[in-house]
Each structure stands twice: as C-alpha cells, then as structure tokens.
Amino acid sequence: MLDVRRREVIALLSGAAALPLAARAQQAASPVRRIGFLLPGGPRTTVVRGQLEAFRQGLKEYGWVEGQNISVEYRFSEGKDDALPGIAAELVRLPLDVIVAEGTAAIRAVKTVTQTIPIVMATSSDPVGTGLVASLNRPGGNVTGASLQTAELSGKRLQLLTEIVSGLAQVAVLSNPLNPSIAPSVEQTKAAAQSLGVELHVVEVQAPDKFESAFTAITSAHAGALMVLPDPLLYGQHPRIVTFTTASHLPALFPEKEVAEAGGLIAYGPSIPASFRRAAAYVDKILRGAKPADLPVEQPTTFELVVNLRTARAICVTIPTSILLRANEVIE
C-alpha cells in the first residue's frame, strides 16, 4: 500500500513539474506577431519618439511587448510625402499582421497598396471625407482607428487668436497642401474668418527645406497672428516654427499642446499621444481576431487648451484672463 501511494505522489509531482515546462513550450511555439508602422516624420525627433513611446506603453497595457510576443517594422518618410507610396509598398511586401500609419497621406499610401492587411490610423483628420473609411460607425474595408476632428476645430482656433490679439485683421495660415485632409481645414478656417471679419493669408509648405521661404511669405503678409494647421510635417518641424514666431514677436496658435509646452504661445486640440495609445488598443483587438470593418472610428471627447505665459512675455503679448481661466495648462 505504501509503495502504491508513493508512486501516486511521484506521478502527481512529476505532472505538476511538467506544467510550467509545457506552458513555456507552448509560449515559445506561439508565433511573434508582426506590426508595420509608417510615420511621416523622422525617428530622431522628440515628437516622433514621444509618439512611439505612447504607442509602446499602450501595447504593454494589453500584454504586447517588443522582443517578446511582437516585433515592429518602423518606416519613416522624414517629412517627404512623395516618399510615402514607395515606403508603403515596401511594408506591404513584408509578412505583417497589421500596419499602423500616422496622418492621412501615410494612411492613404498604405490603403492604396493593400486592401487585405488591417490598417490602424494613429491620427487622421477627416477619414470619411478623404475616403479612408465608409463611415465612422461602420468603417468597412481594412481601415479603422482614430480621427482628430481637425477641420471642425479650425473656427474655434481662429476665434482664440482674435481674443488674444485685439483688433486682429490679418492672419497667416501655415498649411501643407500635400496633406489630403488639409483642404477641409482651410475651408473651415476661411468660413470662420469671414464671420469674424479677418483676412487670411494661406502660406503653403510641402517639405522641410521649404520652411524658410514660407517664413519669408508670412513676414511679407504683415499678419497679426499665425495659425498652424494640423499636419505631421508641420508638427515635426515645430521647433523651427516656434523659433521663427518668437523672433518675429508673432502670436501663433498650434494644434498640439506639446508645441506650447516647447515654447509655442498657445495650443488647442485633442491629445496626440492619447491617440497613439488608442491605436495600440485597435492593434490589440485586431491581433485577437477583430476585423477593422467592424471597429468604429473613435473621435476625441476632450480638448486641451495650453497657454505659455513665458512666451507671451517674450513677445510682449497679454493673454486675456478669460482664456487663462479656460486653459487646462498655463506655463509660467
């Protein structure tokens, strides 16, 4: 009887000891999922590093860690939109489970070369108007993700500038015409300008080496303020824009709070890092079997107003108390 019991205990212990080994073997046998990531900026910029860190943190929240159960193929166009189609085609040739892209131009470039690989929009301005999805609730096709609602915010941003600059009559608008979603933003801004009695000077810039000529055009317009439209190229070049506006004592409004925190006068818009974290949630759902066509496009529900008083003092601008009271963050 003692020998029988001993054999049962040994068998039980042997089985228990084998369980972790079996679990490890099963984990090792699980394929590493592969993600493609296409960004219009450059990998060395502070902006892009922050975006990617937000995305990685989002992935970790859902149990996905680079080097363990996922690998990411990063591609960057370095601010050159004309390079996006070739980079997108290169990504699609890889065995990828999902592709994440930032900005309408990058998303469209990927969508053009694949209708089967799921595409997650890290940020987009008007995905319905630009034809990326059929509707926000039922995207259809292979694209879903986040919309930043930028066109609808243009009027509010221009209104803020008129509150800051008393008697504002002329405003320069910096835009990238190669971005397919910029046209609605420009039209919304023009409509708001007409109702506010403000004259607009739209200044276009298409590549990093074109900013100096754009700055010259802004100066020649004798504008009383500058409004920077949402665009990955402009976001990636914000240190140059901030340097120019500060040196010119030109009040400038940006779409991203990170720019105000880095020296821009004022910013108003949804959080871009939050959008990248939400992109990770979409990736998680797709890797677990969800179809992009069935995942509604998310829109931001909160918007951040950030005012940099240090910059205001440097360019001799007084921010009205009414704006300071509404601000989510005031940088002293």
300-332 pLDDT, tens digit each:
888 899 999 999 999 999 999 999 999 999 999
HEC readout, 72-110: EEEEECCCCHHHHHHHHHHHHCCCCCEEEEECHHHHHHH
Stretch 154-166: mean pLDDT: 93
Determine the Cα–Cα distance for residues 147 and 136; give it in Å rounded to an integer: 9
Mean pLDDT is lowest, of 89-93, 269-273, 288-292, for 269-273
Q: Which residue has the higher pLDDT, 28 or 272?
A: 272
pTM flag (> 0.75): yes
Determine the Cα–Cα distance for residues 184 and 191; give it in Å rounded to an integer: 11
Stretch 194-205: mean pLDDT: 95
Q: What is the pLDDT of residues 269-289, one digit of tens each?
A: 998 889 999 999 999 999 999
Mean pLDDT is lowest, of 138-142, 209-213, 224-228, 233-237, for 233-237
Q: What integer best gives the mean pLDDT of the chain?
A: 89
Other C-beta atoms lying within 10 Å of the C-beta of residue 175: 24
Residue 150 confidence (pLDDT): 63
Determine the Cα–Cα distance for residues 88 and 76; give it in Å rounded to an integer: 10
Residue 26 has pLDDT above 50, yes or no: no
Helices (H), the chain: 2-29, 46-61, 84-92, 104-113, 150-164, 182-196, 211-220, 232-236, 238-247, 257-261, 272-287, 309-314, 321-326
Residue 330 confidence (pLDDT): 97
Q: Positive or negative CA dihedral for 20, 21, 27, 30?
A: negative
Residue 125 confidence (pLDDT): 82
